[in-house]
Amino acid sequence: MPSTRKPTRRGERTRAAILDAAAPLFARHGYRGAPLASVAEAARLTQPGLLHHFPSKERLLLAVLEERDREAMRWMRDTWSEGGSAALRALVALVARNTTTPELVQLFTVLVGEGVSESHPAHEYFEERYERLRGSVRRAIAQGQDTGEFRTDVDAAVLANLVLAMLDGLQIQWLLDRDQDMTAAFEAFVRILLEHLAPRDEG
């Protein structure tokens, strides 16, 4: 077995082009609403040409999601690791950044909506994604509790739940009406949260 270790280098380019073409189309029309041929056309291929790189439409979808998730995580990692209120402020920055990439926001909103159906190909993917994200946020809050920045008599897991819910919910409303100031709204939420998390005055 000579050189099968790393995936082929030639052809990676078109693979990336397909992923880039697929994301906005899945975002605009949903997985079921975006024909494979339209993705192929956007990537300047024919539909069977596309299927040479991805064995099925389903696998293409999962590749798109994983790719975009990886990107977002790279972006977050630095500020995120601090934990506590810094992490919450990092989330505000993430929301602000999201308002500059509506297609990406729509990709996840549209697909998670489709994905709550048990029969949907990305159902398991989203189950795992939310469990993972809840864990991340919970740990960031717990970190703030450990350092004494946050009070310790609140349930970090429940708060993590609320934070993620707020992100998703605001995105829905923002996508339906771009005039909404999603960043300001989330900032207001974080302010309320920090107020709630502030240790009580002793005495």
What residues numbered 56-85 form the site for DNA, per CB under 7 A? 56-58
Piece of the chain touching a copy of itself by CB under 8 A; list 15-23, 89-97, 137-145, 156-164: 156-164
**3-class secondary-structure state, position 11:** coil
Q: Please report whether residue 8 would count as binding DNA according to CB under 7 A.
A: yes
What is 113-178 written as a DSSP string?
HHHTSTTSTTHHHHHHHHHHHHHHHHHHHHHHHHTTSS-SSS-HHHHHHHHHHHHHHHHHHHHH-T
Nearest to 136 by CA among 79, 96, 182: 79
Are 102 and 175 spatial neighbours (Cβ–Cβ below 8 Å)? yes
14 binds, among a copy of itself, DNA, none (CB under 5 to 8 A by kind): DNA
Q: Which is nearer to a copy of itself, 82 or 168 (CB)?
A: 168
113 binds a copy of itself (CB under 8 A): yes
User: Residue 84 and residue 147: Cα distance in Å, rounded?
Assistant: 8
Which listed option, a copy of itself, DNA, none, makes contact with residue 11 (CB within 5 to 8 Å by class)? Answer: DNA
Tokens 């909506």 identify what position?
Answer: 113
Q: Is 56 helix (H, G, I), strand (E, B) or coil?
A: coil
Q: Which of 54, 84, 114, 145 touches a copy of itself (CB under 8 A)?
A: 114
Residue 117, interface with DNA (CB under 7 A)? no
Q: Out of 56, 169, 198, 199, which residue is the one contacting a copy of itself (CB under 8 A)?
A: 169
Tell me the number of residues near DNA by CB under 7 A. 22
**Tokens read off for 149:** 């920045």
- CA–CA separation, 43 and 21 (whole Å): 6
Stretch touching DNA by CB under 7 A, among 31-39, 102-110, 159-167, 170-178: 31-39
Is 28 one of the binding residues for a copy of itself (CB under 8 A)?
A: yes
Does 58 help bind a copy of itself (rule: CB under 8 A)? no
Residue 180 per-residue DSSP state? S
Per CB under 8 A, residues contacting a copy of itself are: 28-30, 32-33, 106, 109-119, 123, 126-127, 130-131, 134, 155, 158-159, 161-162, 164-170, 172-173, 175-177, 180, 184-185, 188-189, 192-193, 195-196
